[in-house]
Chain A
Amino acid sequence: MSNTSFPIPMLHSTIRIMAPFLLAAIGGLFTELAGMLNIALEGLMLIGAFFSVVFAAATGSLFLGILLGIGASVAAAYVFGFISLNLRANIFITGLATNLFAEGLVMVLAFQIFGNKGVIRFQNLPKLPVLSVPAIQRIPVLGDVFVGHNVLVYVSWVMVVIAAIIIYKTAFGLRVRGTGSNPDAIEATGLSPRRYRMYAILISGFTCGLAGAILSLQMGAFVPGITAGRGWIALVAIYLGNKTPHGILIACIVFGFAESFSNYAQGAINVPADFILAFPYIITVVAMIAYSIVRHYRLKGSER
């Protein structure tokens, strides 16, 4: 590979890498807008990753695999939501529980079914179809960056659009947003905030399941710790994206690029991968503090 073509594959892999971030963050956006801190994204993704690849291998059908993977993740989200909302448990603790539970469950099942807690490879696993549009492919840079990804990568972009429509154009979206901003207002109109919170949690289960499916199906294998903190980074992307779908898209491009860059830069530049992975956390905490400083002084100013 010559040096001049270096940025193109990096951008290409940015698009591939960001897809799971994007999906998880879009689901998390719904729970965030409904007024809940959803730290279960990581666990839900893990469940999606495991079950989709297992079912895809078992049924020989990608579609069924993804469907059942999402089903498992939504079921886990329902348990998470039921305990948080109906049994009135602290949602932050139950979110931690979901992550721990997912980790435990996946390991136990992996061991019992495959006798292996390491990397599980699947022989005749169908490959994710790659979309190629020759017309676009011929466009110099754009074509090289955006074409040739698997279908789910494009699905993730479509999901952003669908999410934006649901959030801003439908009655459902209005109510979810209202639930987060002022649950009293929702309750005063006779609606149940709890119900809309549950829907939001189920949506996050759906998108996280799909995000997990991308991870494992792309790799054609299941690896413990396959999610590698992506759920947390997705949460961070929601904040950095200012809780809007387009903001999240931009944040995910940044994170995807950072990871892609670190993959390519290893050896070339001497920045350890762990540092690059730590970067989004540091950026976010700095952004959070800056935000609270501004808010602090604005409030104070009005009192005087």
Chain B
Amino acid sequence: MDRKRIANLLSSTTGLALTVGISFLIVVLLILVLSDEPGRAIYYFFIGPFTKAYYFGNLLNQAIALMFTGLGIAVAFKSSTFNLGGEGQAYSGAIVATVILLALPNMNGFIGGAAAIIAAVGMGAFLAGLSGFFRMRWGTDQLISSFLVSAAVILIINYLVTGPLDDPVNSMLTTARIGRQYQFLRIFKPSKLDISIFFAVAAAIGTYFFMQRTHWGYEMRMCGINREFSRYAGINVGKYLLVPMAISGGFHGLAGAVTIMGTHYRCLKGVTMGIGWNGIAVALIAKNNPIAVVPAALFFAYLEAGAKAAMLHSDVTFELAKIAQAVIFFLVTAQALYGLFRSRKKVGS
């Protein structure tokens, strides 16, 4: 019906397909160059995650944290606020949840767990909210301030994990293990998949509803699209430099808590490493649509699961996933790629 919309959709799909295609192509080329058994490596990279329930379950599990961080970034970007501190916010969520749960070894699982999650969300929201506040109040660059705060926080948490909170019994750089009552139910053994995947999907739907249907979501989106218009129409634009950041940070904190309570049960040094950065890629692939964050996160997790399978069954290494992800990162915002379809049409007419 609406031709312009269809053309837009088509061109963005073409761009995305091209982006993913190029990243796969580079992975295949690298395998061909580096591997002695390229056929096997390629097979396991692309098909591997589906050959065993264990791999597939871990793929889904890997996607959980990415869904939360992806949602956090999507909310921030949709409102034209910039959160580059996801790594630190997620890590802080992980450590705060761990500390609370370790402090309450005998509490009821539900109450203690809820307290830990709330505190983790609050911590993430606070850290990101700081950058929102600075921008609202004095126009400080959000991008850099959020990164710097996060970088400092990561180092401080590293100190806590390796210093005062280190578990002397365990040889790894990690805290002690949280109580059994706080560990999320595993639902697809022997894989690590736990029930929090349902929370993540529910969060995606909830976020979609929040952004599309509630008046806060509406005001945030309007501010994101056109701040001048929003200001003219009487929306408190200052507030929406802060609120989306806090929500974004909250999601990252949640991702950290879920990583501890669902997967690792202890806060290892660098336990959440990468989920902040990858959350940005996930949100960009999803074009900041909360529902689309779910498949985008699954796709990113698939790349990692594929690389893991290829590593176990052939002679290539896990870091191939990083290269594939990086290529997607490179191209996902390339306007020229996405405009390809459109600009050609213009020349033709």
Contact = CB atoms under 8 A, between A and B. Distances in A.
Determine direct contact between A and B, CB below 8 Å.
yes
Residue from B141, B152, B156, B316 having most chain A Cβ neighbours under 10 A: B152
A213 B332 CA distance: 31
Contacts of A79: 330
B210 interface: no
**10 residue pairs, one from A and one from B, having the closest CB atoms:** A104-B322, A101-B326, A97-B329, A107-B319, A274-B159, A87-B334, A89-B334, A278-B155, A111-B317, A104-B323
Interface range on chain B: under 10, 10 to 19, 20 to 34, or 35 or more?
35 or more
Interface in A136-185: none
12 contacts: A37-B144, A83-B334, A89-B330, A90-B333, A94-B329, A101-B327, A101-B330, A103-B322, A104-B322, A109-B34, A111-B317, A281-B155
Nearest to A89: B334
B148 interface: yes
A111 B314 CA distance: 13
Contact of A104 (B284, B315, B320): B320
A274 B158 contact: yes
Interface string A267-304: 00000111101100110110011001101100000000
Contact of B143 (A88, A89, A92, A103): A92
Contact of A89 (B138, B158, B159, B333): B333
A222 interface: no
A108 B317 contact: yes
Interface range on chain A: under 10, 10 to 19, 20 to 34, or 35 or more?
35 or more
B336 interface: yes
Contact of A87 (B134, B284, B325, B331): B331
Contact of B319 (A98, A104, A282, A289): A104
Given A272-B163, A289-B134, A93 B141 contact: no
Nearest to B320: A108
Contact of A83 (B162, B317, B331): B331
A126 to B, nearest CB: 27
A87 B329 CA distance: 13
A93 B77 CA distance: 13
A100 interface: yes
A288 B331 contact: no
A192 B256 CA distance: 45
A274 B335 contact: no
B335 A275 contact: no
Interface in A31-89: 37, 39, 79, 83, 86-89
B325 A100 contact: yes
A24 to B, nearest CB: 16
Interface string B159-190: 10011000000000000000000000000000
